[in-house]
Amino acid sequence: MAKVFGAQSTTDEVLEGVDLTGKRFLVTGVSAGLGVETARVLTAHGAEVVGTARDLDKARRATDGIVSGTFELVDLDLASLKSVRACADALNAAGKPFDVVIANAGVMACPQGKTKDGFELQFGTNHLGHFVFVNRIAPLIKQGGRVVCVSSLAHKFADVELDDPNFETTPYTEFGAYGRSKTANALFALEFDRRHNSRGVRAASVHPGAIPTELVRHMTPEMIEAQTKHIMEAQEKGDGSILGSSYTLKTVPQGAATSVWAAVVADADVLAGRYCEDCHVAESSSNPAEQTGVMPHAQDGDRAKLLWALSEKLVGEAF
């Protein structure tokens, strides 16, 4: 009988007894947190891992403890399409295939800003950077391979805004922008799976859980205070809270477990572009205050197709 994992499962528990010798993975964002843990556990089980980072010196320090298996660092700044294309071109030129691509890197709750190409920073980094990168290296993904996109429960904050992706007319909020980008990650996985499942390549999005990592580095004390006030008011009204005090924080190994589960352990046909949490496929939920579940807007196939078309238009490249 297959092992059953849950919210408290760790990466080591998920991969217990699994031999990944001969498997090749790509993980974006290996300079801290979940990316480092993901690379660590995969190499510990014999896999070859290519990790990306925009600050290679920082990534080298963060991954210094990864000694087993084969590990390589490559330069990738997802906020620059020039960097994205250069990294993808170099990987394609090398021609070494991947079994799994894990789109892990991201930024969260940033002050309003733009990428080097003029896109809203969170949508441009978290979604458009990965959109171009993963699509460009898609030919390297082996038949039967997988793509795992790290989304978030924050997808409940906001749907994608197809008419104003860069907040040109919409008032900007840090978490609203983050929520949009995380919904985009889920919709990208859904449409990528639809386009590639004919050759056995499956995709999924995952919510790692609430984890104290460097992702919160852009949050000022004022932002944290405002978010705490919002949570307390919601609890007083009996509305629950996405990030309430009853929400249990995960350790980094627990947070990375769902990515590893989807990448290695889960049945490929179960993934099918779906949104996963706590090492299982999430149930549908229409209540944004619930701490689990996926909102319908993040699993809407028609929205996924429209986002794909918009993304191609924005980056000037068709896939």
CA dihedral 311, 314, 318, 319 (to 10 degrees): -30
- Confidence at residue 230, expressed as pLDDT on a 0 to 100 scale: 45
- Confidence at residue 68, expressed as pLDDT on a 0 to 100 scale: 64
Question: Do the Cβ atoms of 119 and 166 come closer than 8 Å?
Answer: yes
- Please provide the size of the chain in residues: 319
Distance, CA of 22 to CA of 95 (rounded, Å):
16
Catalytic annotation present for 247 = no
- Confidence at residue 290, expressed as pLDDT on a 0 to 100 scale: 85
Condensed to tens digits (0 to 9), the pLDDT of residues 168-178 reads 999 999 999 99
Amino acid identity for residue 83 in this structure: S
pTM: predicted TM-score of the whole model, two decimal places: 0.90
Distance, CA of 142 to CA of 1 (rounded, Å):
28
Domain 11-311 in this protein, CATH class: alpha beta
What beta strand segments (E) does the chain contain? 24-28, 48-53, 70-75, 98-103, 141-150, 202-207, 275-277, 280-281
* Tens place of pLDDT per residue across the chain (319 aa): 568 899 999 999 999 999 999 999 999 999 999 999 999 999 999 999 999 999 999 999 999 988 666 899 999 999 999 999 999 999 999 999 999 999 999 999 889 999 999 999 999 999 999 999 999 999 999 999 999 999 999 999 999 999 999 999 999 999 999 999 999 999 999 999 999 999 999 999 999 988 764 444 444 444 444 444 444 444 444 444 444 444 568 999 999 999 999 999 999 999 999 999 999 999 999 888 888 999 999 999 999 999 999 999 999 999 9
DSSP code of residue 90: H
- Confidence at residue 3, expressed as pLDDT on a 0 to 100 scale: 82
- Confidence at residue 216, expressed as pLDDT on a 0 to 100 scale: 45
Domain extents in the chain: 11-311
